[in-house]
Amino acid sequence: MREGRIPAYLGDYGRDQERTRHQTDRTPQKENPRPREELRMNKTDKRPPLYIVATWEPSTTPGKLVRYTKEEVRLHSDQFGGGDAHPAVNVKYYGPNLTGKIADKFACPEDVAEKAARTAWDCACEDFWRYWAEECDLDDYFPGHSVKVYSEGRSSGWLTVHGLPPVESWDAVDLARWRRFEREVESDVEYRTSAEYTLEAIEANGWAITPQTTATLDVGIH
């Protein structure tokens, strides 16, 4: 055997042992999930990567979560040509006409039911804006910011919040705070426009009471 040479079988054994040692010492490393997702328009884009800031919330499917991103924050401006747009909640209502239900419940003519529905709607709108623009503690939603709520758009279809920093600068905490506010406003709209709320308001205020319905109620009592 020439000095410095390793027999083939010994060399193979040594390489196998070295390979085994490295495999034994190597512990599986979990990849750290990126807290933010990088997006580039294309491979030649030299600009810094864009980051998606998102929050997660329960979906309508049990056990599932859906992502809410800054791109989903709606903005509204009442100024012609755009102007300064502010974060906004769409508070338009496209629900069913409750005149029939009112007439059935209170045994009143349709014109009386229609008037009662209109009165209930006006009062619900007034109470809604009074709460969110005047009575609500907005610091609970947006601590550290001096914000105000305004009614904007045709027929007051948008609730806008003035005083927040630009949406582009929001981090995940800012986004989560906004989403909480948005969801609670939407929930309040749903509640105040529900048939249950409307019928209770009409009954409590006697808006559908007429001489005919009073006579009907008296008959029922006797």
pLDDT digits 0-9 by tens, 180-206:
999 999 999 999 999 999 999 999 999
pTM: 0.69
* Mean per-residue pLDDT over the chain, rounded: 78
- For the chain, residues with pLDDT lower than 70 are 1-54, 56-60, 80-82, 211-222
Q: Which residues pair with 54 in a beta bridge?
A: 69
Residue ranges of domains in the chain: 74-216
Q: Which two tokens stand for residue 109?
A: 């003519």
Burial 56-79 (b: 16+ CB within 10 A, else e): eeeeeeeeeeeebebeebeebbee
